[in-house]
Amino acid sequence: MAGDSPEQAVPEGAHDGAGHRARLRQRLLEGGAEALADYEVLEFLLFGASARGDTKPLAKALLQRFGSLSAVLNAEPGALRQVKGMGEAGIGAVKIAALAARRMARSEVREKPVLASWHALLDYLAIDMAHLTVERVRVLYLDTRNRLILDHHVGDGSIDEAAIHPREVIRRGLDIGASALILVHNHPSGNPEPSRADIQVTQRIAEAGRLLGITVHDHVIVGREGHVSLRAKGLI
């Protein structure tokens, strides 16, 4: 009977799941990058984890818990599980989106000379490191055309000579035939301003590189509040 159709069966004020999803999909496909709010992006990601029902409350709960879309995508699975309503399928949907974003940003860096695609590099580093809860040190080794040879994870912990040895950094570069490098680390506090140890270790690595023919182009510090280039600050 006509009165039994799904559209008419939805009580007034109830969530029209299928219709809402279709409208959101249409806005995504027709409206471009800014068509959806952050919570709607999360809604869309969670559609696949929930065959029916309203994913908006869960999306908003995730944003409230973690503070931003990027923080949700970078959250650890254990932390995501603590949000009521997040099951394994939802966690998988969030983490595959984060992985796809990293892979896309990384390919932009690997396919072009790093210094000529600086903004792509900063995007890649922000996606990969800005929301880490531990301090991580990486060295990006470059060839004579400033293309990435190796993205080396040196270790986790405060950047000082106990964690990162200038001679070891340069020796690794010599071993792989690098002609230049970029130091990278993050500040879990969110503030990317360099510490005295950051500056001192950078200057020692730069001096060791000058002696052995490896240029230190920069040291980039990443945080939730942005990034800082020690080269731009005149500290190298």
- Do 129 and 209 lie in one domain? The reply is yes
- Tell me what pLDDT residue 144 has: 92
d(CA 224, CA 222): 7
- Do 90 and 118 lie in one domain? The reply is no
- Tell me what pLDDT residue 53 has: 65
- Do 38 and 135 lie in one domain? The reply is no
- Tell me what pLDDT residue 203 has: 92
Residue bearing tokens 């230190």: 216
> Does residue 119 sit within a domain?
yes
- Tell me what pLDDT residue 70 has: 82
Instruction: Give 129's Cβ-side CA count (13 Å radius).
Output: 25
- Do 86 and 128 lie in one domain? The reply is no
Tens of pLDDT, residue by residue over 113-142, are 777 778 888 888 887 777 778 888 899 999
- Tell me what pLDDT residue 122 has: 83
Domain at 48, CATH number: 1.10.150.20
- Do 121 and 225 lie in one domain? The reply is yes
- Do 23 and 97 lie in one domain? The reply is yes
> Does residue 171 sit within a domain?
yes
Contacts of 128 (CB under 8 A, 6+ apart): 102, 105, 106
> pLDDT under 50 in the chain at which residues?
1-14, 161-162
Domain boundary among 103, 123, 146: 103
Domain boundary among 82, 103, 124: 103
CA 181-197-165 angle, 5° bins: 50
- Tell me what pLDDT residue 18 has: 67
> Does residue 209 sit within a domain?
yes
Q: Which domain holds residue 133?
A: 113-229
d(CA 59, CA 72): 10
Q: How many helices (H) and strands (E) does the chain have?
A: 10, 5
> Does residue 222 sit within a domain?
yes
- Do 217 and 146 lie in one domain? The reply is yes
- Do 93 and 117 lie in one domain? The reply is no
Supply the DSSP symbol for 157.
S
Domain boundary among 85, 103, 121: 103
- Tell me what pLDDT residue 5 has: 35
Domain at 210, CATH number: 3.40.140.10
- Tell me what pLDDT residue 76 has: 87
- Do 38 and 129 lie in one domain? The reply is no
